[in-house]
Structure formats: C-alpha cells, structure tokens
A and B are shown apart, each in its own frame.
Chain A
Amino acid sequence: MGGALNINHLLFLGHGALWTIGLSAIALIGGGAFGLLVALGRVSSSRVLRLLAATYVQLIQGTPLLVIMFLSFFGLAALGFNISPLLAAGASLTIFVAAYLGEIWRGCIEAVPKPQWEAAEGLALSRTQRMVKVILPQAIRIATPPTVGFMVQIIKNTSLASVVGFVELTRSGQIINNSLFEPFLIYSIIALVYFSLCYPLSRLSRRLERTALQKKPSLA
C-alpha cells in the first residue's frame, strides 16, 4: 500500500539485525559474568549464598522474560528512573540469561569427577585454588556445547526487546510493515534472518556435543 519493498528497507532490516547481534553479545557477556557468580553461589560452601542463588534462579526461571522487560522499562520509569530501551533490554536479558546460564554451569561444575575435587584437596590447594586451577578449567570443557546451544535461545529472546521499543530485527520489521503493510512477506524475511543466525550455532552445539562424547576423559 505504501510502495514496494526496496533496498532501503533491506538496509534498515540489516541495521536491525546488527543490533540483534549486539544485544545478544551484551546479554551473553553480562549474563555470563553474572551467571558465573550464580553458579559459584550455587556450589558455595556458605549456606546463605547457596540459598540466595537458588532463590534467584527459582524466581527468574518462574517469570517470563517479557514481564521482566516490562518491569525494567515501564516499572522503573514509573518509579522515576529514566531508562533507555537499550539499557532496559540489556539489563533484562542479563538478569534472565544469568539465571539460566548459572544453572547450566552449576551442572557442569558438579559434573567434574569427584576424584578431581578430592585430589585437589589432597594436594592442599585452598578452596579458591581448587576452583580456579582444577575444577573450572575442566568445567569449561563440559560447558561449551550447552553454552553454545543456549546462545541460540539468547538470540531468539532478544526479539522481545522490540516490545520496549528497542529497534532490533523484529522491531525494524514492524516499523517497515507499518509503512508497507505486507506482514507475511516481512515476517518471513525476518524469520529467515533469525534462522540463518541461529541454525549454524545449533549445528555447532550438536557437533561439539558429539565430539565431547567421543573423547570422554578416561578419568572418573
């Protein structure tokens, strides 16, 4: 109705796609850093820390990302804090990703064979040394395939940033659709772009999983 899809529209979509990638990177880095703290809290020797981390995970995993998004954008604005869509989306995704990655990584830390913990203790390493020098390096290898797999979830979830008006891929599609009114065509293109971002990661995750299974460490 407002003309045909042209190169400028596609450039605008490309720009949105770049922001989708950027937002995913923010979520991965922020959520990863915070998620590591959550994972360490979950396996900590302090009961209070364990309880705090577990409560955090339970609360966030029981809340939809969309509601977290609304809470940080509209909710904090109503309390008088002025928050940009980028900050709201980045913070929400960080909070959300941390709960899931924290739980995935806790599993990986606990999957490091028990004798490794005992050997480190037998060598009189301190708790920190044991974690940093013995457990985490091995946990990282176990954690790689599920983390790559979770990156697919992160990329898909950035689409929810569109509801607070952050112009990433989905939002840029909505904007173009408002002028062209060709929803089926435009959302198909968008779906295709998401697919081409996510599918290679899915494949990679599965391949890493297979190779990890093949050369399972002989320890344990």
Chain B
Amino acid sequence: MGLVLDFSVVLERWHALLDGAALTLQLAFIAVVCGAVIGIFGAIGRRSGNVFVERLWGAYVEAIRNTPLLVQIFLVYFGLSSLGLQFSAFSVAAVALTINVGAYTTEIMRAGFDSIHRGQIEAAEGLGLSKAQIYWHVIIWPGIERVYPALTSQFVLLMLASSVTSQISAEELTAVANYIQSETYRSFETYIVVALIYVALSFIMRFGFWLLGLALFPRRRRLGTPL
C-alpha cells in the first residue's frame, strides 16, 4: 500500500499546539523554581550534621529517585482527592513534578556544596562571616556554579518528563497531541510534529539556561570558563 503523509491537518491546529507548548513550559518553570528552592534546603539539610534531618531528607531523595514519575503522579493525584481536596489537573501536575525534581536537585546541589573545599569555609570563618553569610556567599552560590550544567540537564529532562502528566489530563503538549490525533486520525504525523516541538523546546530551554548562567555567574564569565 502507498503511504500518504498529510501534515496539513495537524499544522492547521498550530494554535492548540502552541497553547500546549506554553503550558508545558509553564509547568516546567513552576517545577524548576520550586524544585530549586527545595533542592537548596534539601542539600543544606542533607549536610546539616543532625542525624534525624539527614535521614529524613535522605529517605525523601531515595523514595523519589527509585520510583517512576507516573506512579508518583498517580499517588499525588489520588492521595489529594482521598483527603477530600479537589485541585485542578494542572496544580496536581505542578505539585507532583515539583516533588520529583526537588529530590534530584537535592542530590545535585549536595554534590555541588560538598565540592567546596574545607579551607574556603575556614577562611570565611576566619574573616568573621556569620553562618548564614558563609552558606550564601561561600557554599550556595559557588556550589551551584559548579553543578550548573548538571542542573540544566536535569531541568530539561524534567520538561520532557512533564509529558507524563497528560495521563491525569493536564492539558500540556502531549495531551494536546492525543486530542489532535483522535480528531484527525493522523497519529503518525501528529506525534512526529509534537516530537519536533519537544526537541525545539529543549533547545530553547538549554539556551535560556545558558543565558541565565551568564547573568548569574559573572565571575565565571570573567575567568572565561565556559558553562
């Protein structure tokens, strides 16, 4: 049989695809910002010296890193509703993705903070900086700077993984694709187009993080070290 590909019916619905892509980026943005905050606190907690706090954060990280995102999403979705709380699919998706990326970010940031040389911290103590100042100026920012490429990769992976939230009918890009293919019967064309949009989104995200890195780490720019 002859294969006839017809992309026009898919491309006709570009506004729906654009909406979906925007929602995907929005989900990724929320999860990245909240996940980064969780990651900083998590990494501080993981090296706090308090056994209980360390164990607690460790359990969170291991639980998330060793179970599939799909199952985590279902657990958050049904967990919240069994508590009698009604949220939109979008909020549930954002919460689940945040919990997920928070664990990975904790691990990455911990590696970054651990890579700060003991002597640097001692020097800061010798200069009479307070504990908060030491954390902020000597551990957090230089630590993040070192693991910035790893963080970027993790956040791009998260954006791609947000496609899974289509399973609880959050209206992001993959859900839009499912809808278009059920309407046009052009599944192959639809998913090819959507795959290419995801590739474009990940390039855009990488570029965005590269620009952000230039703004956040001027020292690195001066030294001429590439991100």
Contacts of A199 in B (CB 8 A): 62, 66
Binds B, one of A26-34, A45-53, A106-114, A159-167: A159-167
Contacts of B169 in A (CB 8 A): none
**Taking the complex as formed, is B68 at the interface, i.e. its CB lies under 8 A from any CB of chain A?**
yes
Contact yes or no, B70 A63, CB < 8 A: no
**Taking the complex as formed, is A1 at the interface, i.e. its CB lies under 8 A from any CB of chain B?**
no
B78, B79, B161, B203: residue with the most chain A Cβ atoms closer than 10 Å:
B78
Contact yes or no, B198 A75, CB < 8 A: no
Q: Write the B175-209 contact mask toward A (1 if CB under 8 angstroms, else 0).
A: 00110010001111011101100111111000000
A80 and B3 contact, Cβ closer than 8 Å, known pairs A183-B74, A183-B82, A202-B62: yes
Q: Which residue of A lies closest to B188 (CB)?
A: A75
A67 and B188 contact, Cβ closer than 8 Å, known pairs A156-B68, A195-B63: no
Binds B, one of A122-130, A134-142, A184-192, A210-218: A184-192
**Taking the complex as formed, is A62 at the interface, i.e. its CB lies under 8 A from any CB of chain B?**
yes
**Taking the complex as formed, is B88 at the interface, i.e. its CB lies under 8 A from any CB of chain A?**
no
Within 8 A of A (CB), among B38-69: 62-63, 65-69
**Taking the complex as formed, is B138 at the interface, i.e. its CB lies under 8 A from any CB of chain A?**
no
Contact yes or no, B163 A66, CB < 8 A: yes
Contact yes or no, B160 A62, CB < 8 A: yes
Contact yes or no, B187 A74, CB < 8 A: yes
C-alpha spacing A156/B1, complex, angstroms: 38
A183 and B3 contact, Cβ closer than 8 Å, known pairs A64-B161, A170-B71, A198-B66: no
Interface of A, secondary structure class, is helix
**Taking the complex as formed, is A157 at the interface, i.e. its CB lies under 8 A from any CB of chain B?**
yes
C-alpha spacing A63/B161, complex, angstroms: 9
Within 8 A of B (CB), among A26-80: 58-59, 61-68, 70-71, 74-80
Contact yes or no, A78 B187, CB < 8 A: yes
Q: Which residue of A lies closest to B184 (CB)?
A: A78
Contacts of B62 in A (CB 8 A): 199, 202
Contacts of B188 in A (CB 8 A): 71, 74-76, 78-79
Contacts of B190 in A (CB 8 A): 75
Contacts of B177 in A (CB 8 A): 67, 70
Contact yes or no, B78 A67, CB < 8 A: no
Contact yes or no, A63 B198, CB < 8 A: yes
* CB pairs A–B below 8 angstroms (15 shown): A66-B163, A66-B166, A70-B177, A70-B178, A74-B181, A74-B187, A75-B192, A77-B187, A78-B186, A78-B188, A80-B1, A156-B67, A184-B82, A187-B75, A202-B65
The chain B residues found within 8 Å of chain A, CB to CB, are 1, 3, 62-63, 65-72, 74-75, 78-79, 82, 160-161, 163-164, 166-167, 174, 177-178, 181, 185-188, 190-192, 194-195, 198-203
